[in-house]
Amino acid sequence: MTAILAAEGVTRRFAPRVTLGDRIAAALGARVDRRAVQAVTDVSLAVTRGETLGLVGESGCGKSTLGRMLAGILPPSEGRVLLDGAPPMRAGHKTTTRIQTVFQDPFASLNPRQRIGEAIAEGPVSHGLVTRAAAPKLAADWLARVGLDPAYAQRFPHQFSGGQRQRVAIARALAMQPEVLVCDEPVASLDVSIQAQVLNLFLELHRALGLTCLFISHDLAVVRHVSDRVAVMYLGRIVEIGEAATVYAAPRHPYTRGLLASVPKLSLDGAAVEFQPIRGELPSPLSPPAGCAFHPRCPAATDVCRAQRPALSPRADGTLVACHHA
């Protein structure tokens, strides 16, 4: 059990984004908040070699920000990220090809006029992993490996469907021979039948190549399916982390419980489904509640929760939970 990738007390702040709504509000005389957003606060975690660590939480809780810091493409404001003991990023630049990423919309960053074969081989050639002469074969091999016709190397990005795009993105990332793959919502925009195809491909390649993976998704069922361990985030912090089987079967943090209870279940026996929603709404990350950030919505909150932030602390079975009462 050795950690290959670790975050040590990482925090990330962003300067405020001014949206259209803010401009309209400002024009109408409303006061617009210009404080910095703290997207991730003091997160420490370690990803073990060969495992898939799932990262779940609702939108805005900081999953992508944490993922980008771990991938070495976004510098932390505080704390550090270590890949085998060395930072994957120096002076604002990614210094390693050992970590690759797959995003929800993988073609956003592709040149629409570049053929897919070239897009796949570009990185490996420029990093000297293969010669330019071997590039076409590399692209064809990877296309076949992800279940696409090698002849698709000649196609342009717009000629691919959503599921095919994710296959290409996986091929493009893996052609760099990474040890760590950071996947951020890789199946979020896919239909279930296509999602199943991509998840199967992911599981197969993960095993065959012995990859280490951080798998980010808002979909709890997807994360359960692919992950060995899972981390649950709320308002920029990890509130629970442990073996996926344990966390899903016996969630300890009231937020994890509420989240799991909110997921609609397939009701096969026709029994009436009772929803048990978490009450209230996510507070603004601009002004997180004092003490435990979840206390205003928590059914178990007491005075200590309002006053003191619970530390992420280990339980007998190895799960870490940040709760005064769990």
Nearest CB to ligand ADP, comparing residues 41 and 212: 41
| 287 touches ligand ADP by CB under 6 A | no
Interface map 255-284 toward another protein (x if CB under 8 A): ---xx-xxxxxxxxxx--x-xxxx--xx--
- Of 96-104, 138-146, 151-159, 212-220, the window that binds another protein (rule: CB under 8 A) is 212-220
| 227 touches Mg ion by CB under 5 A | no
| 41 touches ligand ADP by CB under 6 A | no
| 193 touches another protein by CB under 8 A | yes
From the number of C-beta atoms within 10 Å of its C-beta (0-12, 13-18, 19+), residue 119 rates as buried
SS (H, E, C) 202-243: HHHHHHHHCCEEEEECCCHHHHHHHCCEEEEEECCEEEEEEE
| 100 touches Mg ion by CB under 5 A | no
Residue 147 phi/psi, 5° resolution? 85, 25
Smallest distance from ligand ADP to CB 299, Å: 24
| 95 touches another protein by CB under 8 A | no
Q: Let me know: does 245 contact 224? Beta carbons within 8 Å.
A: no
Give the three-state DSSP class for 37. strand
* DSSP one-letter code for 106: G
Please report, as a single letter, which amino acid is at residue 196. Answer: A
Task: Dig out the tokens for 9 from the structure.
Answer: 């007390």
Q: Let me know: does 321 contact 236? Beta carbons within 8 Å.
A: no
Residue among 39, 71, 148, 171 that touches ligand ADP (CB under 6 A)? 39
Smallest distance from another protein to CB 282, Å: 7
| 199 touches another protein by CB under 8 A | yes
| 104 touches Mg ion by CB under 5 A | no
Q: Applying CB under 5 A, which residues contact Mg ion? A: 64
Q: Applying CB under 6 A, which residues contact ligand ADP? A: 14, 17, 37, 39, 57, 59-65, 285
